[in-house]
């Protein structure tokens, strides 16, 4: 077997070359796959390689695993899987550590978002069967969902496939409680959705179906803890979109997008996110393939989706369901969108540290709760460059670094080493540390602090102390009518590259988390509740830019704005 024989890789080339229509997230994952195959695996500093021998084994097994239902019932899957399904299988099973005596797999988490009728359940069942066949002896595996009925659907599909595959069937024993793979004594159970029912398990792998109908991460957290002592761990999260504005799956998908756009580095995560691109017309049938990569390649599938769309035109309530369940759109009662594309932001990154000496600056504070992130932002306007220049710091409790790193999937240890984040206090941040940090900025950077803008929430005491120390502090009302001019200036400056920030990946992550909404007057503002992670560093900068904007519009007289 050679790389040219890999059907998933062939599909990745089709996507990247434009022969298969896909959204930008799928294109980015396909390009990652191609880059790893063609170049990265041959680099000494890349610790993983693609095992063609394992690929040949998987391809061989698929000759004896049959479809249970549908057009290809009782026919080998090897002959009829879609390109994206091959790509998932190749990435999950065939990347291994170069150096380990017992090579571990590179991919440890898989995120798959696809519209209804994309053979999601069949793919889940197939993945679980292959996992069991290739797993270490006596290992435990599980399928989970919000309810046992949901997780039971995948188990039923596994049973159907096994029973329709004569040469496979003899290796499995199916009972009400579990599926047993007899050649290595591995087991797979479907679990109920309560986190307490998962505690105590030791899972090598787990698959969570319909993740988007879970309002929080409780089940996922319990499942991840069950893998703590395993060595070949794999977690698969699969779902269509749901009409829950905030759910566990959207948090995972937003994290995956940060990996794909380069905001976060994570070699162990693989994601195929099938959805429309921002700005796509959902009424244009040619766009549907981006969310439904299987049905739109079949004449019967295209007819089915077309019929569903025509029904939705007659019944408005069905249109929302079509757009959510088929096209994976996130619909809301209010319009919300990303504040700025992170790739556009990165064009504003400075090549070297900015010389702040002698500059008049404004500070912005976002103090939040004492057990959460606190941020300080510093801004100035450089007349010679004609640009806004910013610098930002984050503060977190010392005893929560590990917890926040795992929960938020943000490497706070690294950002503390780099000086973008500071740990202070134990389980709550030390406000005195932050206040002393602020009072030392003028000496540290040779600047003059003209004013300090703050949100009064959790900040009154600090603002009073800074005022007593001789600083001018101004409350920045957190309302769209107040913040809209500053946000508009910030956004336009970034889009026009009239914005400079020093290399700070944590700040980039905060920007990528930001989601904006519009008030009744169409004023734009960043909404914390709709944002997908920490945005405190951006909020602090906005508070500072608000003061900078006041100087440009009203001069230096801040008297009317001081508490």
Q: Does residue 12 surpass a pLDDT of 80? A: yes
Integer Cα distance of 143 and 156 in angstroms: 11
Cβ contacts of 262 within 8 Å, gap of 6 or more: 342, 343, 346
Predicted confidence (pLDDT) per residue in 223-275, tens digit: 888 787 777 889 999 998 887 766 888 889 989 999 999 888 999 999 999 99
Residue 256 has φ and ψ, to the nearest 5°, of -60, -40
**Spatial contact of 396 and 413, defined as CB atoms under 8 Å apart:** no
DSSP 8-state secondary structure symbol assigned to residue 73: B
334-387 pLDDT, tens digit each: 445 678 888 899 999 999 999 999 999 999 999 876 668 899 999 999 999 999
DSSP 8-state code for residue 273: E
* pLDDT score for 460: 87
DSSP state of 277: P
Per residue in 513-553, pLDDT (tens digit) is 888 877 767 777 787 777 778 899 999 999 999 999 887 65
Q: Is the pLDDT of residue 190 over 70?
A: yes
How much is the mean pLDDT over the chain?
A: 88
pLDDT of residue 334: 42
Rounded to 5 degrees, φ, ψ at 263 are: -70, -40
For residue 113, which phi and psi values (nearest 5 degrees)?
Answer: -115, 125
What distance in Å separates the CA atoms of residue 183 and residue 172, rounded to the nearest whole number?
Answer: 8
Average the pLDDT over 169-176 and give the result. 93
Q: What is the pLDDT of residue 75?
A: 94
Confidence of residue 410 (pLDDT cuts 50, 70, 90): confident
Longest distance between any two alpha carbons in the chain, whole Å? 84
Separation in Å, CA 166 to CA 65, 88, 173: 8, 25, 13
Instruction: Give the tens place of pLDDT for each residue, 272-304.
Output: 999 999 889 999 999 999 999 988 888 888 999
Place of tokens 């998962």: 198
Going by pLDDT thresholds of 50, 70 and 90, the confidence category of residue 557 is: very low
The residue with tokens 């893998």 is 227
* Burial of residue 171 (number of CB atoms within 10 Å: 0-12, 13-18, 19+): middle
Question: Span 165-186, mean pLDDT?
Answer: 93
CA torsion 419-421-423-429 (nearest 10°) is 140
pLDDT exceeding 70 applies to what percent of the chain?
A: 94
């Amino acid at each position: 077997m050679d790389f040219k024989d890999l059907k998933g890789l062939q599909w990745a080339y089709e996507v990247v070359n434009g022969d298969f229509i896909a959204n930008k997230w799928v294109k980015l994952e396909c390009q990652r796959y191609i880059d790893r195959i063609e170049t990265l695996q041959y680099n000494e500093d890349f610790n993983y390689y693609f095992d063609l021998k394992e690929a040949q084994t998987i391809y061989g097994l698929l000759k004896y695993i049959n479809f249970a239902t549908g057009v290809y019932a009782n026919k080998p899957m090897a002959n009829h899987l879609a390109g994206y399904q091959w790509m998932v299988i190749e990435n999950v099973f065939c990347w291994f550590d170069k150096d380990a005596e017992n090579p571990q797999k590179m991919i440890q988490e898989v995120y798959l978002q696809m519209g209804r009728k994309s053979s999601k359940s069949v793919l889940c069942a197939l993945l679980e069967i292959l996992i069991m066949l290739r797993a270490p002896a006596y290992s435990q595996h599980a399928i989970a969902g919000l309810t046992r009925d949901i997780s039971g659907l995948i188990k039923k599909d596994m049973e159907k496939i096994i029973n329709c595959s004569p040469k496979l069937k003899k290796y499995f024993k199916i009972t009400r409680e579990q599926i047993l793979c007899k050649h290595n004594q591995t087991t797979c159970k479907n679990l109920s959705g309560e986190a307490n029912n998962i505690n105590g398990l030791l899972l090598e792998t787990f698959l969570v179906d319909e993740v988007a109908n879970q309002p929080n991460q409780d089940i996922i957290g319990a499942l991840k803890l069950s893998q703590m002592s395993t060595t070949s761990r794999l977690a698969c999260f699969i779902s269509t979109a749901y009409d829950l504005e905030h759910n566990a799956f959207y948090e995972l998908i937003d994290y995956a997008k940060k990996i794909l756009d380069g905001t976060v580095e994570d070699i162990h995560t693989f994601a195929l996110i099938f959805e429309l691109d921002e700005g796509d017309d959902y009424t244009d049938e040619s766009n549907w393939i981006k969310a439904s990569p299987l049905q739109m390649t079949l004449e019967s599938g295209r007819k089915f989706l077309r019929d569903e769309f025509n029904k939705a035109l007659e019944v408005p309530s069905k249109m929302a369901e079509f757009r959510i369940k088929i096209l994976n759109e996130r619909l809301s009662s209010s319009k919300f969108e990303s504040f700025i594309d992170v790739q556009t932001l990165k064009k504003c990154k400075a090549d070297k540290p900015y010389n702040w000496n002698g500059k008049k600056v404004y500070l912005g504070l976002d103090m939040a709760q004492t057990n959460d992130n606190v941020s300080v932002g510093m801004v100035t306007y450089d007349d010679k460059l004609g640009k806004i220049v910013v610098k930002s710091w984050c503060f977190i409790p010392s005893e929560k670094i590990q917890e926040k790193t795992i929960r938020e999937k943000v490497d706070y240890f690294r950002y503390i080493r780099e000086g973008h984040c500071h740990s202070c206090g134990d389980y709550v941040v030390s406000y005195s540390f932050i206040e002393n940090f602020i009072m030392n900025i003028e000496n540290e950077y040779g600047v003059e602090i003209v004013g300090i803008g703050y949100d009064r929430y959790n900040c009154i005491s600090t603002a009073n102390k800074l005022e007593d120390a001789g600083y001018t502090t101004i409350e920045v009302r957190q309302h769209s009518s107040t913040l809209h001019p500053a946000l508009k200036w910030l956004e336009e400056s970034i889009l026009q590259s009239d914005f400079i920030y020093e290399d700070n990946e944590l700040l980039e992550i905060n920007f990528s988390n930001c989601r904006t909404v519009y008030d009744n007057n169409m004023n734009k503002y960043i909404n914390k509740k709709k944002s997908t992670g920490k945005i405190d560093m951006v909020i602090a900068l906005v508070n500072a830019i608000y003061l900078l904007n006041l100087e440009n519009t009203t001069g230096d007289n801040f008297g009317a704005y001081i508490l």
